[in-house]
Amino acid sequence: MALILSIETSTAVCSVALHEQGKLLSLAELREPGAHAEMLMGLVEEVMGKAGKLFLDVDAFAVSEGPGSYTGLRIGVSTAKGLAFALNKPLIGINTLLAMAAGCPLEKGAQVVAVLDARRMEVYTQTFGEQLEQKTPIEALILEEGVFGSTLEQGKVFFIGDAVEKVKRVVNHPNAVFLSETDYPLSAKAMGGLAFEKFQHQAFEDLAYFVPNYLKEFKALQSTKNPLIKP
């Protein structure tokens, strides 16, 4: 049996979930920007209490590794590393954008574009196939005319994440389906299956060297307004 505690703090949502064999046992989360440091351990204890489990029962700790909020990621990773070290348990890092895509209602032949708010008109993004296979690397992009054009020409595309409203301002395509963050928020409950798969393959992080993926550099897509900008 694999009992895994997952921590998600890369956005304004602070979320903790406990899964057994990839199945959700308990969940605790709140949306209160700036409260991660104060509330996270309380949510961890709440999740363990709801499930009637002890920390010694946990087989591994999973944490959202980014990209995302610098402060949120630092708090989440520090907490997960501290728990893993104190209890001598393995640590599992989960791509934040993959966790977003895992919460999407996948359809045959469709693709999922996870979009995480960065700043101004910039987003962190990655595209996945119907089996959550990676179609593109993690990127930091500026939202402008033509963005995601090649992906949209291939068929239906679901956009998910807290930057969906920003994407809607610049993307107008019949293949685009925008999922509301209210209906599909980023949550630690989407990390369970991903973490269990990594646990089975013993794909663990090195506690001494593991750091979040802040992804600070931005890439500007080629713009029809300025032909001098190259992709």
Q: Report the predicted TM-score, pTM, of the whole model to 2 decimal places.
A: 0.90
Same domain, 86 and 190: yes
Same domain, 170 and 190: no
User: For the chain, what is the domain count?
Assistant: 2
% of the chain exceeding 70 in pLDDT: 93
Distance of CA 182 to the CA centre of its chain: 16
112-158: per-residue pLDDT in tens? 999 999 988 899 999 999 999 999 999 999 999 899 999 999 999 99
167-177: per-residue pLDDT in tens? 999 999 999 99
- Please tell me the distance from the alpha carbon of residue 152 to that of residue 168, in angstroms, as a whole number: 13
Range of the domain at 56: 3-95+185-200
Q: How much is the pLDDT for 218?
A: 43
**Considering the domain boundaries, does residue 69 fall inside one?**
yes
For range 70-88, the mean pLDDT: 96
Q: What is the CATH number of the domain that holds 170?
A: 3.30.420.200
**Considering the domain boundaries, does residue 207 fall inside one?**
no
Residue 216 banded pLDDT, cuts 50, 70, 90? low
pLDDT > 70? residue 30? yes
Which parts of 59-213 fold into alpha helices (H)? 70-87, 96-102, 149-152, 164-168, 192-200
**Considering the domain boundaries, does residue 86 fall inside one?**
yes
Same domain, 20 and 123: no
**Considering the domain boundaries, does residue 211 fall inside one?**
no
DSSP string, 177-191: EEPPTTTS---GGGG
- Tokens standing for residue 92: 């599992």
Q: How much is the pLDDT for 226?
A: 43
Same domain, 194 and 125: no
Q: How much is the pLDDT for 230?
A: 41
By CB neighbour count within 10 A (0-12 exposed, 13-18 middle, 19+ buried), where does 113 fall? buried
Residue where one domain finishes, among candidates 132, 147, 178:
178
* Average pLDDT in the chain: 91
**Considering the domain boundaries, does residue 8 fall inside one?**
yes
User: CB neighbours (10 Å) of residue 217?
Assistant: 7
Q: How much is the pLDDT for 217?
A: 47
